[in-house]
Structures are given as C-alpha cells and as structure tokens.
Amino acid sequence: AQKVTQAQTEISVVEKEDVTLDCVYETRDTTYYLFWYKQPPSGELVFLIRRNSFDEQNEISGRYSWNFQKSTSSFNFTITASQVVDSAVYFCALSESKNTGGFKTIFGAGTRLFVKA
C-alpha cells in the first residue's frame, strides 16, 4: 500500500535555527518518486525537489538539504539557518506508476513550520 507519514504536525523554531522535517513512506514498488512541496501562507503549492528510488544521493540547494534513505524508507528535509520566509506548510509526496497507466501521487498530511524572528 502507498502511504506517506509526516509525524510532525507543527514545528516552531527561532530564526537561524536548523530544522528537520521528517517524511516516512511505504511502497511495494521498486520504482517510485519522492517529492517535497512548500505551501506558503498565500496558499500556492511550490515544488522543491524530486528524487527517484534509484538515486540515494543526498542533495543540497542553498539552505535546503534532503536525506534519502531507502533502508529506513525516509526522505527528510533540513533547513539550515531558518528564516521567517521559510514559514509554510511542507508536504512530502510519493508517486508510483499504476497498471492502468499514469502515476498516482499520495501526499503526507504536511508539517506546518513557524519561524519566529
């Protein structure tokens, strides 16, 4: 079964702190894709990163970094030196191919991050 768990409902940090958002997924497929999206207070959904199941390399993009570990089925997201503008809801998502064609994507419930000045 396809499932994404973001156990942290809300996190509150003070500016410049580092923060890690957890994502644990379940899938029976060997080929799948993982994503992180950001939803700022304005409401739009913004793509952050995509990873396929065969690429376990960690990635860093500025203050953002991602740690993908197949052994623990986790795809965690770390923000270094957080800023107020990082305040948003962050969603982890899992995409699998279906027999009927297409890719079915399941989102986690999201983690709301508050960064206080």
In angstroms, the CA 60 to CA 73 distance is 19
114 binds other proteins (CB under 8 A): no
In angstroms, the CA 34 to CA 22 distance is 13
| Cβ closest to other proteins, residue 52 vs residue 83 | 52
Q: Which stretch binds other proteins (CB under 8 A): 12-20, 42-50, 69-77, 79-87?
A: 42-50
27 binds other proteins (CB under 8 A): no
Q: Which stretch binds other proteins (CB under 8 A): 21-29, 57-65, 68-76, 90-98?
A: 90-98
Binding other proteins by CB under 8 A: which of 33, 38, 64, 87? 33
Residue 66 Cβ vs other proteins, minimum distance, rounded to whole Å: 14
In angstroms, the CA 89 to CA 10 distance is 9
Question: Cβ(15)–Cβ(115) under 8 Å?
Answer: yes
101 binds other proteins (CB under 8 A): yes
- Cα-based distances in Å from 22 to 75, 92, 101, 117: 7, 9, 30, 23
Strands 64-69 and 59-61: antiparallel
The residue ranges that bind other proteins (CB under 8 A) are 6, 9, 33, 35, 43-45, 47, 50, 52, 91, 93, 95, 97-98, 100-110
